[in-house]
Amino acid sequence: MNNDNRQTVQLTVDGRAITANEGELLIDVLYREGIRIPSLCYSPGLSRPGSCRSCLVEIEGTKGSKPACEISVENNMQIRAESPSLEREHKIILSLLLEHYADDNHDPEMIDHTEFGYWLRRYDLQPPTSKHHKLLYSDDSDPHPAIRVNLNKCILCTRCIRACSEIQGRFVWGLADRSDKTRITAGNDETMLDARCESCGACVAYCPTGALSDRNAAPDFQADEKVMTTCSYCGVGCNFDLNIKNGRLRHVTANPHAPVNGMHLCVKGRYGFDFVHHPDRLTRPMVREWVLQGTQRSQCGDRGKWVSVSWDRALDVVARRFSAIIDESGPDALGIFSSAKCTNEENYLMQKFARQVIGTHNIDHCARLCHSSTVAGLAAAFGSGAMSNTMADVAGQAWALFVIGSNTTEQHPVFGSMLRQAVHQRGARLVVADPRRIDLAEFAELHLQHKPGTDIALVNGLMHIIIENGLQDEAFINARTQDYDAFRDSLKKYTPHHVSSITGVPAGDIVKAAEILGTVKPMAVIWSMGITQHTVGVQNVFSLANLQMLTGNMGIPGGGVNPLRGQNNVQGACDMGALANVFPGYQSVTDENARKKFNRAWALSNRNELFGPKPGLTITEMVDGALEGSIRGFYILGENPIMSDPDVNNVRKALANAEFTVLQEIFPSETADYADVLLPGVSFAEKDGTFTNTERRIQLIHNAVISPGKAREDWAITTDLARRMLKFRNLEPTGEYAKWVYSSSAAIMEEITALTPSYAGVSHERLQNGEQLYWPVKNKQHRGTPILHMGKFTRGKGLFHIAEHLPAKELPDADFPLCLTTGRVLYHWHGAEMTRRSIPLAALYPETLVEISREDAARLNIENGQTVRLVSRRGEMIATADISDRVPTGLVFGNFHFPDEANVNNLTINAVDPIAKIPEYKVCAVKIETRLR
Ligand code: SF4
């Protein structure tokens, strides 16, 4: 018996004994055992059309050959995968497939680069070229910037069609025409992009012939090595292979053993890493001339000339300047921005640097801007601020999905595809709540298009109906929660009619959604920044935590609270304590025992207390501090506040006001204009370490590429700087973990595990051995915790909170009559320092667009593609109008991927949630002008 309760059977293949599960398909068994036979329409992970008949085998006791994709294995089967007659049959079938195939590039002497090429060589078959028959199609027949199409090489295996529909949940590819004219075609015989291709490249990954190929990979390319690593874009945490030649990253290919994503990737993961070798990369430390000369900086904006210097010189300058600020104004006059793009090990060191070396809790990172409300809200409700379930169990086991404030298919695309699969292939019932008609709404049973900033009213309305109909899970509420009665009473006023008047959602739809969410179990709630980036962000999160307790959907597979973290390692940066109020592992700086523990671990001579009990300043507070002059210097790692913070005109003034700013980056980002020292770090492909994805899964990244110039790993830079500062300030490390001596990032992880209970059992070695570790990992034997809160919440009982609807800080009025909401798009990432420097991504989305509804466009006389000016009380933005049904009347949507006047953050408001201090990116008031000044 197997662990999935199936009987095992014994069989032989060419005399080799093999164990399989009864009923398993023979072709799957052969793949698993590494026994290769031609199988051109079959591919693991796709449905089986059984059309090419190439996977023929012989079964002892039966006549003739049979396709392995149609045979279920039985006990004692004796299979022949190789025999003289099979050899003949395979050759005939391959010859038939060559009838309409032509390849002018085939080189029989070369290692084969496609699956089909391998079999042609194996059976000594020469593919026809244009000399043998006229090419039916033009080579490179589609203008897609990342994918090359050559239908002359297509053998109609239909893997591309199935990959697009079954994996990506898109239906770009299909078959056109009949009999010998049959061909694959995009959409209605149009370009791939016109056919709504999302450029994920799944069709390329599965194509066995090279008819669809990576435009940026030469057909004869052969990598020196393939290095599996973790994506540096979003929090899904896909793995893939970096294809390396001569120390350079040439392209990315999927790896079927990738634990989160298998063969699937999104457009950024598959095509967005050419930035690694972009000529803009920072290669040498640079310091402003005024700093080196010891003169005063000009106060009129420009900080003057850059001078390239040695690492020693640059780090000495930083150590002296930071020390001077500490001596004159105290440690809290410095602000430190850590980076969710960097590894756990680097984030750990950044907060250690802030707390031990500088002596301040003024450390924060972009989680402040994306999910700080999730962390605060869930920690208060359950005792842990993280995603409770895994993506696989949500996509594989939830029977109802409530996606609110998450444009999943664009922001977490591989997980978005998994949700589409759950709906298409399993019949999971999807309810989407979003002010925009996002792509997932197409797949939803119900789209609740509520007004921005009315989430609490909507969710309270759903819960009101659930209770009215007696659908609440009383047993769960009684056994596992507290403060239910007051919470229940608070919902009385949220009648469907009242909620409809606040949200704009028809009352009938609210009732229908409540019926689905209240009756179908398990039900998973999924959210992202549509929920968190509000002045009521924490209250929004309380509402969703309440919903999952009310319906008893916590601590079970397929249920839970599932906030999707944005950046690749924003979860890890939080875990590592790169936050103003917590040490690593969310040990509060206000907790005396935690302070004692870290004071001891990082102890320095001549300093009794390394840090105080008061939490430090958040990003937005540090920016305000710089404006007022209380923050005099910054150390910024891999963040670009000039792009990503709200009300960037204010941020520009603040950074201009700061006396001394150090930026550690891979590119001269927009923030570099405000820096005095530039320290060149390295990209994810040039360093070792770990990222923690949105589901708390800790994964390795690997150094695979030669770094440009003098660029150094970020952990090595911070370590070097820390040592210099300690020496400069005559501080001797005396605590067990006070020293800054690390031979590798694995050694840093050892220090982390000693001080961070939730990471106690983590090691690079365990990860290298293939263990899948989700924190908490309590010790070296513990296997991790894929699902949180099973049987008991981290805090004991789950706590219901009363959350009341409150309007957003700035709503449309007569002067600014439109509501602006903001976010990212599929093809770019955050401030887009990397994606704007990727040729395919920049080609796919070259300029900033703002979505405007048809009604507003008609009223304002705006045509599609017209350049428009958006104005708020804080600034202006110039963008191209994208007239679209995605936004309702009165709402416009913009992104923050393009700099200067094209950045939507010129307009956004820096009003923040009072608890989490997260800005309200999702709602402010604007007007549109069509006359450009
Ligand atoms: Fe990378 Fe996220 Fe795309 Fe996966 S879904 S390839 S992690 S950006």
pLDDT band at 112 (very low <50, low <70, confident <90, very high): low
- Using one digit for the tens of pLDDT, what is the confidence trace for 586-611? 999 999 999 999 999 999 998 889 99
CA angle 831, 670, 925 (to 5 degrees): 60
Residue labelled with tokens 């939080």: 574
Tokens standing for 228?
A: 């599996």
Distances (CA, A) of 606 to 320, 739, 850: 19, 15, 56
Cβ neighbours, 10 Å, residue 316 = 16
SS3 for 565?
A: coil
Query: Which structure tokens are listed for 478?
Result: 């009684």
**pLDDT on residue 896:** 94
Which is nearest to 532 in space by CA: 430, 431, 455, 642? Answer: 455
Q: Which residues lie below 8 Å from residue 209, measured CB to CB, with a gap of 6+? A: 101, 114, 115, 116, 117, 153, 154, 155, 157
CA gap 18, 724 in Å, rounded: 61
- Ligand 1 mean position, distance from CA 136 (Å): 36
**Phi and psi at residue 762, to the nearest 5°:** -85, 140
Instruction: Quick: pLDDT tens for 143-181.
Output: 999 999 999 999 999 999 999 999 999 999 999 988 778
Q: Token pair for residue 332?
A: 């809290």
Listed residue (358, 732, 388, 792) closest to 571, CA to CA: 388
SS3 430: strand
Using most ligand atoms within 8 A of CB, pick from 229, 265, 267, 415 the residue to mutate for ligand 1: 265
Whole-angstrom distance, CA of residue 76 vs CA of residue 99: 39
pLDDT digits (tens, 9 = 90+) for 341-356: 999 999 999 999 999 9
d(CA 547, CA 513) in angstroms, rounded, equals 13
Complete DSSP assignment for 625-683:
HHHHTS--EEEEES--HHHHSSSHHHHHHHHHH-SEEEEEESS--GGGGG-SEEEE---
Extract the tokens encoding 343. 């590894």
Structure tokens at 917: 């201090």
Cα 158 to Cα 44, 66, 128, distances in angstroms: 14, 21, 21
Whose tokens are 């239906």? That residue is 171
Alpha-carbon gap, residue 260 to 390, rounded angstroms: 10
CA of 684 to the centre of ligand 1 (A): 14
**Binning pLDDT at 50, 70 and 90, where does residue 933 land?**
low
Alpha-carbon distance of 433 to 404, in angstroms, equals: 5
**What residue owns the CA closest to ligand 1's atom 2?**
234
* CA distance linking residue 163 with residue 43, whole number of Å: 10
Q: Token digits for 721?
A: 């700087």
Q: What is the DSSP string of 845-893?
A: S-S-EEEE-HHHHHHHT--TT-EEEEE-SS-EEEEEEEE-TTS-TTEEE
Q: Which atom of ligand 1 is closest in space to residue 232's alpha carbon?
A: 1
What is the C-alpha separation between 649 and 287, in angstroms, rounded? 25
**Nearest residue by C-alpha to atom 3 in ligand 1:** 266
Specify the 3-state DSSP secondary structure of 70: helix
**Ligand 1 centroid distance, CA of 241 (Å):** 13
Only one residue has tokens 């008949």, namely: 53
Euclidean distance between CA atoms 300 and 295, whole angstroms:
15
pLDDT grade for 136, boundaries at 50, 70 and 90: confident
Average pLDDT, integer, range 860-876: 96
Query: Cis link prior to 776 (omega < 30° from 0)?
Result: yes
SS3 (DSSP) at 166: helix
- CA 414 to ligand 1 centroid distance, Å: 6
Ligand 1 atom nearest residue 234's Cα: 2
Q: Whole-prediction pTM value?
A: 0.95
In this predicted structure, what is the pLDDT of residue 752? 98
Average confidence (pLDDT) over 367-384: 92
Q: How far is the CA of 230 from the centre of ligand 1 (A)?
A: 9
DSSP three-state, residue 331: helix
Pairing assessment for the beta strands 660-665 and 633-637 based on DSSP bridges: parallel
Encoded tokens for 122: 């194996």
The angle, 0 to 180 degrees and rounded to 10, between the axes of the packed helices 344-352 and 714-728 is: 20
- Report DSSP letters for 728-792, one per residue: HTT--B-STT-----SSHHHHHHHHHHH-GGGTT--HHHHHTT--EES---STT----SSSSSSS
| pLDDT bucket at 125, cuts 50 / 70 / 90 | confident
Q: What residues flank ligand 1, with Cβ below 6 Å?
A: 231, 233-234, 236-238, 261, 265-266, 268-269, 412-414
Cα-to-centroid distance, 200 and ligand 1 (Å): 10
Tally the residues of the chain: 933
DSSP result, 366-392:
THHHHTHHHHHHHHHHHS--S--S-HH
Question: Hey, what are 151's tokens?
Answer: 């239908």
| DSSP label of 400 | E
Q: What is residue 212's three-state secondary structure?
A: strand
The CA distance from 463 to 475, in Å, is: 17
Average pLDDT, the chain: 94
Q: Which residues contact 239 (CB under 8 A, 6 or more apart)?
A: 228, 229, 230, 231, 255, 257, 258, 259, 260, 261, 699
Q: Is 855 left (phi over 0), alpha (psi -120 to 50) or beta?
A: alpha
Please write the tens of the pLDDT for every residue from 484-516: 999 999 999 999 999 999 999 999 999 999 999
Counting Cα atoms < 13 Å in the Cβ hemisphere of 732 gives: 3
Cα 907 to averaged position of ligand 1 atoms, centre (Å): 29
The answer to which of 58-72, 466-480, 806-820 has the lowest mean pLDDT is: 58-72
Expressed in angstroms, the distance from the first to the final Cα of the chain is: 76
Ligand 1 nearest atom to the CA of residue 266, by list position: 3
521, 555 Cβ separation under 8 angstroms: no
Which ligand 1 atom minimizes the distance to the CA of 568?
7
Question: CA distances (Å), 513 to each of 403, 419, 455, 510, 554, in order?
Answer: 12, 18, 14, 5, 19
Cα–Cα dist 923/933, whole Å: 26
The tokens describing 296, both together, are 């005063």
- Residues 6 or more apart in contact with residue 627 via CB below 8 angstroms: 650, 653, 654, 657
Examine the pLDDT at 2 and tell me if it is beyond 60. no
Q: What single-letter amino acid sits at 859?
A: R
pLDDT tens track for 777-812: 999 999 999 999 999 999 999 999 999 999 999 999
The answer to whether the Cα torsion of 293, 295, 297, 300 is positive or negative is negative
User: What confidence category does residue 127 fall into, taking pLDDT thresholds of 50, 70 and 90?
Assistant: confident
- What SS3 state is found at 258? coil
Tell me the pLDDT tens digit for each residue of 227-269: 999 999 999 999 999 999 999 999 999 999 999 999 999 999 9
Phi, psi values for residue 88, rounded to 5°: -65, -45
For residues 145 and 839, give the distance between their C-alpha atoms in angstroms, rounded to a whole number: 8
pLDDT, mean of residues 567-572: 95
Q: Tell me, in angstroms, the distance from the centre of ligand 1 to residue 556's CA.
A: 26
Q: Could you please report the per-residue DSSP string of 459-484?
A: HHHHHHHHHHTT-S-HHHHHHHEE-H
Cα 41 to Cα 721: distance, rounded to the nearest angstrom:
56
Query: Pocket of ligand 1, candidates 199, 230, 238: which has the most ligand atoms within 8 Å of its Cβ, to mutate?
Result: 238
What distance in Å separates the CA atoms of residue 737 and residue 726, rounded to the nearest whole number?
14
> Quick one: which H or E segment has residue 417?
helix 413-421
Q: How would you label 771-803 residue by residue, b for 16+ Cβ within 10 Å and e otherwise?
A: eebbbbbeeeeeebbbbbbeeebbeeebbbbbb
State how far the Cα of 810 lies from the Cα of 453, in Å rounded to an integer: 10
Assess contact for 758 and 576: CB atoms under 8 A. Answer: no
Query: For the segment 871-891, what is each residue's pLDDT rounded down to a tens digit?
Result: 999 999 999 999 999 999 999
What whole-number distance in Å separates Cα of residue 369 and Cα of residue 727?
35
Give the tokens for residue 178: 């009949």
Residue 600 carries which side chain, given as an amino acid letter? R
Grade residue 3 by pLDDT with cuts at 50, 70 and 90. very low
- Three-state secondary structure of 298-318: CCCCCCCCEEECCHHHHHHHH
Per-residue pLDDT reduced to its tens digit, 29-85? 999 999 999 998 999 889 988 888 889 999 999 988 999 999 999 999 999 999 999
Please, are residues 869 and 913 in contact by the beta-carbon 8 Å criterion? no
Mutate to test the pocket of ligand 1, among 167, 199, 200, 234 (most ligand atoms within 8 A of CB): 234
What percent of the chain lies above the pLDDT cut of 90? 88
Taking the centre of ligand 1 as the mean of its atom positions, its distance from the CA of residue 265, in whole angstroms, is 6
Least confident of 368-372, 597-601, 743-747: 368-372
